[in-house]
Structure 1
Amino acid sequence: MAQYLYGDRIAAQGRLMLGCSATLFDATRSKLLLTRRTDNGRWCLPGGAVDAGESVSEACVREVFEETGLTVQVVRLLGIYSNPHRMVRYADGNQYHVISMNFEVALIGGELGLSNETTEVGYFSQAEIDTMDLIDPHRERMAAIWSNDSIPTIA
């Protein structure tokens, strides 16, 4: 289970990890696709770590497929997140300063379903998401997602 630790430049205690997340709107652009994680029961945008030898867009597409069964295409960068005051520690003791990119993606195909990483998936409105237990890094991404700003957030 991932635990988020906070403190002044605490991420300096971890190793760097590159990650990505995907923002997939429904057809009306009024709801977002979220997944509920198996490891901690919290909600998040589909996503995960970038593997060596793949591009960030390839990682984004792969992670969405692995977690939801959907095939997507990266449309644009929405933001880059690199909070040095937050570190993630996993159950195995590894801890990371995560640098993550959030991309808007478009649906190409596939069938929405569950995986060994997800217990629930669905599309939710901004009002619904505001009441959900999101993982910490994804809560901060919501403001940028709903702003419809054409300039990526860098935080």
Structure 2
Amino acid sequence: MGRRDYEGDPDAPAANSLVPAASVVVVDDSGSILLQRRRDNDMWALPGGVMNIGESLPDCAVRETREETGIDVEIVGIVGTYTNPGHVFAYDDGEVRQEFSICFLARPIGGHVAVSDESTDVRWFAPGEIDALPMVPSIRKRVDDWRNGNMPAIR
């Protein structure tokens, strides 16, 4: 299914669904970050997706990371909360989604890098390599928040 991202676009279609979601900044011991190249928009992105009924957002983050990248993770913090009503995703089936997303910080604990039906490539990148990658602004903001240390304190 195709997807088009609209952010701050006055011509964007109106949202017709509100969806809780999780994304994940996965950082290994060398400081590299795990990214996937999405099949639906050909952009590099953090692993993540929509929460299912019966699971918590942290469980969603762990599941989505495993499904999309092949890597098992342990959640160690929160990068931030992202709720921009001016950012919607329009899908080919007519859904126009506004997401309420928590971006988690995680460390890898197992698995092997693998593409999924949602990705065409999955790789580890050094933080300095990220700037040259094609990425939607909302994902770049999450990555930049992590790189710049703009994360809430965990209590």
Instruction: Output the TM-score relative to the length of structure 2.
Output: 0.88
Aligned to 1:137, the other structure's residue is in SS state helix
Counterpart residue type for residue 33 of structure 1: L
- CA distance, structure 1, for counterparts of residue 94 and residue 88 of structure 2: 12
Query: Post-superposition shift, 1:74?
Result: 1.0
- CA distance, structure 2, for counterparts of residue 106 and residue 124 of structure 1: 14
- CA distance, structure 2, for counterparts of residue 27 and residue 11 of structure 1: 42
Instruction: Name 2:88's counterpart in structure 1.
Output: 87
- CA distance, structure 1, for counterparts of residue 112 and residue 61 of structure 2: 17
Query: Post-superposition shift, 1:83?
Result: 0.5
Count matched residues. Answer: 150
- CA distance, structure 1, for counterparts of residue 137 and residue 80 of structure 2: 16
Counterpart residue type for residue 28 of structure 1: S
Query: Post-superposition shift, 1:106?
Result: 1.5
Structure 1 96/150 Cα, relative in aligned 2: closer, same or farther at 3 Å?
A: closer
Unaligned residue ranges in structure 2 (runs of 5+)? none
Question: Please, what is the CA RMSD of the aligned residues?
Answer: 1.8
Q: Which consecutive aligned stretches of 4+ in structure 1 deviate over 2 angstroms post-superposition?
A: 5-8, 10-14
Per-residue deviation, residues 70-113 of structure 1 (Å, max 9, x unmatched): 11111111100001112111111101111111001121111111
- CA distance, structure 1, for counterparts of residue 36 and residue 108 of structure 2: 16
Alignment check: 8 A CA contact 1:11 1:97 kept: no
Q: Percent identity?
A: 33
Alignment check: 8 A CA contact 2:13 2:90 kept: no
Pairing 1:43-122 to 2, within 5 Å after superposition = 43-122=44-123
Pairing 1:128-143 to 2, within 5 Å after superposition = 128-143=129-144
Structure 1 16/123 Cα, relative in aligned 2: closer, same or farther at 3 Å?
A: same
Instruction: Name 2:42's counterpart in structure 1.
Output: 41
Counterpart residue type for residue 74 of structure 1: I
Alignment check: 8 A CA contact 2:14 2:96 kept: no
Per-residue deviation, residues 57-81 of structure 1 (Å, max 9, x unmatched): 1100000000111111111111000
Query: Post-superposition shift, 1:41?
Result: 1.3
- CA distance, structure 2, for counterparts of residue 50 and residue 90 of structure 1: 18
Aligned to 2:129, the other structure's residue is in SS state helix
Aligned to 2:18, the other structure's residue is in SS state strand
Structure 1 93/84 Cα, relative in aligned 2: closer, same or farther at 3 Å?
A: same
Out of 8, 20, 23, the position equivalent to 2:22 is 20
Instruction: Output the TM-score relative to the length of structure 1.
Output: 0.88
